Structure formats: C-alpha cells, structure tokens
Amino acid sequence: MATENKNLSHYDKSQIPNGENLKIGLVVSEWNQEITENLYTGALNALLDCGVGKENIFRWNVPGSFELPFGCKKMITSEPVDAIVAIGSVIRGETSHFDYVCSATARGIMELNVQTNVPVVFCVLTDDTIQQSRDRSGGKHGNKGTEAAIAAIKMASLGKQL
C-alpha cells in the first residue's frame, strides 16, 4: 500500500505559503463522524498553524460524502472562500453502494474544480475497514485532514497569484 510506514501529516512550514490573508472552507460529512471529526481537527490545526485566522475558517456540515459536492457548491456561492476542503469518509460494506458513493463524490468534487475558480480539495477517505480510516485520520499514517489543509493553502495561494 502506498502509505505503508508513512505519516502523511508532516510538512515543512517554511515551504507553505502564509495563510494569513486566506479564507478557507471546510465542508464536513456527518457520516462516519468519528473519522470526519478527526480529519476536521487535523485540517483546522494545520490551517491555524499556517496563519489562517480562526475567523477566516468556515465550517459547514452535510449528511454524508455524497452531499459534499452540493455543500461545496453552495459554500462557493455563499462565502468569500479562497479554497475548500471536502471532508468525508466512506467505508466499504457488503454491497456496491461504496463504489457508487465514492465515484459520484470524486466526480462531483472534480467537476467543481473544473467549473469554478475556487479550488476544492478532496479529503474523502475511501477505505476497506474502519481501522484503515482510523490510521489515516490521526493514526499511524498521520491525518489526511492535515495534508488536505496544506493543499488548500497552496491552491488558494496559487489562485491569488494568477
């Protein structure tokens, strides 16, 4: 596996643009809340660590990962954000529902990136087991929320430069 023995949460702050003047949205799925709250915490802490003011971080909740693209789309039109992190967790079950939700969510977020000028960072864990999700949301592989927040700062800064 690609993340075996790797912690995804390490970043060199000197290599990250200052987030002081950025406004970042976090759209968080309520489904698999243990995981999504861990991802949210990782993202929030990284944003604050890189200079984004608490008043410039907007959080909206949606019921599940399938609803993330709609929540992100509405945030783009309602809040003055420079980037959004879409936070979700889909854990494989016994049916093909997992495949449909993962595919639709990824496609919806990708379409927002193509159709709008606000970057939307994909922070949706798509794991086979709850343990894999725990490992990637603050466990032995770090926190994907942290990684996504750093990507959001980089993309928002790029957007302001261009």
Alpha-helical runs (H) found in 14-67: 33-49
Please enumerate in sequence order all residues whose Cβ is within 8 A of that of 45, keeping only pairs 6 or more positions apart, or say none: 146
Q: Which of 39, 38, 83, 37 is nearest to 58 (CA)?
A: 83
Residue located via tokens 């939700």 = 101
What sign does the dihedral 12-131-45-75 (CA atoms) show?
positive
**Does the active-site annotation cover 97?**
yes
DSSP state of 147: H
Residue of 13, 74, 97, 140 with catalytic role? 97
Residues with a catalytic annotation lie at 97
